[in-house]
Amino acid sequence: MRKLLLPVVAMLSLAIHAIPAVAQDAKAGETKAAMCIGCHGIPRYQASFPEVHKVPMISGQSAKYISTALTAYKKGERKHPTMRAIAASLNEQDMADLAAYYAAQAKPGAPSAAASAPAPTGQDVVAQLNPPPDTHVADLIKNGKCQSCHGANFNTPIDPTYPKIAGQYADYLFVALKAYQTTKNPQVGRANPVMGGMAVGLTHAQLKELSNYIASLPGELQTVPQSRLRP
């Protein structure tokens, strides 16, 4: 199944890159982020839907990924009532500006957000991860071919429309992975054939193991504290 999905990855990437680029204005994005900071501007802020978990860190995430995710919420490909309502209010320029604003907030001293790693080939890249995974988690990473999209260190995806996930909150990763397993639910779920194919055969216990390990890796993501009361 996963071998059959690899051509789908290539086709999706080509389709995304065929869309004309919109000029990004990070300064404009700072103003537009007023609707975002109530959740994404508070370190370790917890949401309660569809279960209690920390909202994801998006500062330092790639701009193209943020735009892609917002578009997916707007189209309903990602089902989340709050995020869909917010995304529905945004046009393409708004998304580009917000993406530029958050992409510029990577942790100081972190690798360039534009850097990318080639897809792993030949060598056992799992063994090079630090901290190293235990044997069971290493098998899950290999079998799921996680690094073929998210990069050898989970921080340099092979395509900027894929997320950096190293160091992301474990409980958020767990909720996100379960969403790829969810179907026929009008409120919860994510339509992505690649991630769905990876997640569908795993138990919740295995998803939690993966999430906990990936969260332990060093990454560029952070939450930049911001006051709800802005001048």
CA-CA distance, 194 to 148, in Å (whole number)? Answer: 11
Fold observed for domain 2-16+23-215: Cytochrome Bc1 Complex; Chain D, domain 2 (1.10.760)
- Strands 78-79 and 189-190, by their bridges, are antiparallel
Contact 100, 63 (CB under 8 A): yes
For the chain, domain boundaries: 2-16+23-215
Whether residue 209 contacts residue 137, with contact meaning beta carbons closer than 8 Å, is answered with yes
- d(CA 119, CA 139) in angstroms, rounded, equals 18
* pLDDT computed for residue 105 by the predictor: 95
The whole model's pTM is what? Answer: 0.85
State pLDDT tens for residues 183-192: 999 999 999 9
The first and second tokens of residue 23, run together, are: 């000029």
Task: Write out pLDDT tens, residues 194-206.
Answer: 999 999 999 999 9
Average pLDDT, whole number, for the chain?
88
What is the mean predicted confidence (pLDDT) over 199-215? 97
pLDDT recorded at residue 113? 42
Q: Are 218 and 166 in contact (CB under 8 A)?
A: yes
